[in-house]
Amino acid sequence: MKQLKKNSELIKRCLIILLAVVLMAAAITLFSLSLEVYEGGFDADMDSIVMFFCGVALLVYGIYSVYALKKGLSVQTIYYGSFGAISVLMGFYPLGVFFKAMAKHKPFIENQEYLYIGILGIVMIVYLIFSYISEQREETQA
């Protein structure tokens, strides 16, 4: 039990890496299943590409956080960079898909999940901004 408590931070960070790898593998699988080749080009599901890039950002964060743990470095910059990129992808891509569908007069009910995911992404961006401001204020007061 003592060894588990000692290595819990490393295990937690390795689980982030595992989650990122699973997310990227699922994205690659979904992309390959959606790939349609036709004369003059191909078509594929763009959602899986966005999911892949979110996985890459999470993987970068996970790998650097393990490295930072071993070297005693701060993960603040990579945290805000990685989760900021994920939040922007989760916020603006789905909203773009949603508003494009609305402009083409497609039914709301078929595209509402893009709206909800986009709102969640915007909330994440706002959270990260306020978290960053709060952290900066704490550093200047210390």
DSSP state at residue 107: -
> Which amino acid makes up residue 115?
L
Predicted pLDDT of residue 142 = 67
CB 31 within 8 A of CB 52: yes
pLDDT tens per residue across all 142 residues of the chain = 778 777 899 999 999 999 999 999 999 999 999 999 888 888 889 999 999 999 999 999 999 999 999 999 999 999 999 999 999 999 999 999 999 999 999 999 999 999 999 999 999 999 999 999 999 888 888 6
Q: Where are the beta strands (DSSP E) in 8-133?
A: 36-38, 41-43
Residue 41 φ/ψ, nearest 5 degrees: 160, -160
The encoded tokens of residue 107 equal 């039914």
Structure pTM? 0.89
